[in-house]
Structure 1
């Protein structure tokens, strides 16, 4: 099948099953950017409603990305198929999960939300294993993800699980967001076949999300009737848009094109690690043996998924 045929059909092209050093470094940076999003959302929900936060997040991110694209004079895709794919990606990767996570965080804490969000790789392995020929389900992936997930729970604290069963609808909403992220990762593989720059893909996705959300937000929440948010909330929204959305999605689509859906969504296992390490470095939080044990389990799980650890043990 030629490149042109791939682009016309939207078929995915092959990815590298094992990530290189560059992809691992970008994944760690992405985990830091997305780890901060739970903190920023936690500040914003004190004063603003769900859809308003999500709309401001994607709207400001879209504006920043288009300014960056204009300065770089990047060529824009012209085919309607690609722009329709941006809208589908916007729904799966922004509108649905952002809305569900922000709504869920009105009722449950950030710790439990992070644990539930860490189920994303589990859903991704299942969805990608069914839909993608080069990301088939394997024993090492299952073992690696289970190890990583247990490590996440250890780091955040088993006491966070005490809330399971209460506010059940909010918890199901976070799990729904994780499933939506998984579907988005699989769907997003097509943009490499289309030959679209990751910056353009990120801008197209958040722009489509903004166009979908704007009428819904104006209709359901009348954001202009809400009280003017504090400076703290405004700064949290700005950081959420520029760093946890605009910059984060440039990295996300670059890793997705190189290493595939399963690998890029391992970021949800690394996000709690980044959050706890940042707390220790910046806020002076104390690292415990439990934290370090959780990190070791996550590292072991990621090594199993990557495959090189098992090959080394066999040799």
Structure 2
């Protein structure tokens, strides 16, 4: 434990800056996915094509992490040194964090707006707080956390209200985005545990490549063609693979050296970045009353959820 605290990634300012950068990258994914569907001619109801697009992105991201890791200095853990139990854990994480998670995420985003998706996905913070209560003795739900969780889920309800005061929710749209948020929370807890015995960068590379490859393979078996596009489309795909490689590598390392809740607090920046970038890139309106009311609730909720345990040991 003493060695972990000496890492520069355990310094609050460094952790905050890097976690905020991850949030910016993930926030940019919402408009990028929407643009990607247009550039790769992915139909609104073509689930297999969406899976192929996502699978190719994450398989490329995994390869990119392997490439960057190859040039890193110092002793690096080899895939050959992993035992059967570790490979089984990596396979499970790959399916949960990449294959299944992004199946729900990519389908969900295609059936709702980028701004709404980014706000709904912030519910992962509150799922993390609930799950951490059962798995970590130093991360229990206090009264302050309970109020924060309530604020967060009020925001999820509010963002789905239309001007006619009726709820606008579909299982394949908003429902799938929330399921993806839950899977992301579960994956974060599992990834933190695995990073104690497996190099975080190696873990990131393997779970992205394996999970993406499975997703792409399933899509091709379902009849999807290999993703095709123009130079602009593949340029966007390269950016999306790069942001996944960078964000997941940094996030996995931050989870290793910091408490889960002290890092997941920065997830509240994802809907802020996602909403603003969706407006800037896609021209979506962010001046809708439910968006303006939901964003502050999300921010307050996340701060309340994580603030009470900010001084607890990792």
Say whether the fold is shared (TM-score over 0.5). yes
Q: TM-score, normalised by structure 1?
A: 0.77
Task: Name the SS for the 1:72 alignment partner.
Answer: coil
SS at match of 1:45: helix
- Structure 2 vs 1, CA of residues 120 and 161 (structure 1 numbering), >3 Å: closer, same or farther? farther
Label 1:160 to 1:292 Cα distance change in 2 as closer, same or farther (>3 A): closer
Match of 2:237 in 1: 237
Residues in 2 aligned to 1:287 and 1:42: alpha-carbon distance in whole angstroms: 16
Shift of 1:54: 1.2
57-66 or 204-213, which deviates more: 204-213
Q: C-alpha root-mean-square deviation of aligned residues, in Å?
A: 3.7
Cα deviation, residue 254, structure 1? 1.6
1:61–1:206: 8 Å Cα contact kept in structure 2?
Answer: yes
- Rounded Cα–Cα distance in structure 1 between residues aligned with 2:283 and 2:114: 19
Matched, 1:199 2:201: yes
Q: Give the 3 Å change call, closer, same or farther, for CA 303–162 of structure 1 in structure 2.
A: same
Distance 1:279 1:206 in 2: 25
1:58 deviates by: 0.8
Residues 249-284 of structure 1: CA deviation (Å, up to 9, x unaligned): 011102211223334333432112223556799999
Cα distance in 1 for partners of 2:165, 2:35 equals 23
- In structure 2, do the counterparts of structure 1 residues 112 and 232 end up closer, same or farther at CA, with 3 Å as the change threshold? same
Describe the shift of the 1:174–1:292 C-alpha distance in structure 2 as closer, same or farther (beyond 3 A): closer
Matches within 5 A, 1:151-300: 159=162, 164-194=167-197, 196-224=198-226, 228-243=228-243, 245-276=244-275, 300=300
In 1, distance between residues paired with 2:310 and 2:162?
33
Does the 8 Å CA contact 1:36/1:275 hold for their aligned counterparts? yes
Q: Is the 8 A contact 1:304 1:310 kept in 2?
A: no
Q: Which moved more, 1:298-307 or 1:160-169?
A: 160-169
Corresponding position of 1:63? 63
Give the equivalent residue in structure 1 for 2:122: 118
Partner of 1:304: 304
Return structure 1 stretches of 4+ with deviation > 6 angstroms.
151-154, 160-163, 279-288, 290-295, 308-311
CA distance in 2, matches of 1:265, 1:67: 27
SS of the aligned residue for 1:223 comes to coil
Q: Which runs of 5+ in 1 are unaligned?
A: 4-17
Aligned pairs, number:
292
Please say if residues 51 and 221 of structure 1, whose CA atoms lie closer than 8 Å, have aligned partners that are also in contact: no
- Out of 291-300 and 203-212, give the one that drifted further: 291-300
User: For 1:132-143, what aligned pairs fall within 5 Å after superposition?
Assistant: 132-143=136-147
Q: For the structure 1 residues 172 and 29, does the alpha-carbon distance in structure 2 shift closer, same or farther, using more than 3 Å as the test?
A: same
Once the two structures are TM-superposed, the CA of residue 152 in structure 1 deviates from its matched residue by 8.2
TM-score between the two structures when normalised by the length of structure 2: 0.77
2:196 is paired with a residue whose SS is helix
2:31 counterpart residue number: 39
Q: Which aligned pairs between 1:53-92 and structure 2 lie closer than 5 A?
A: 53-72=53-72, 74-77=76-79, 78-80=81-83, 81-92=85-96
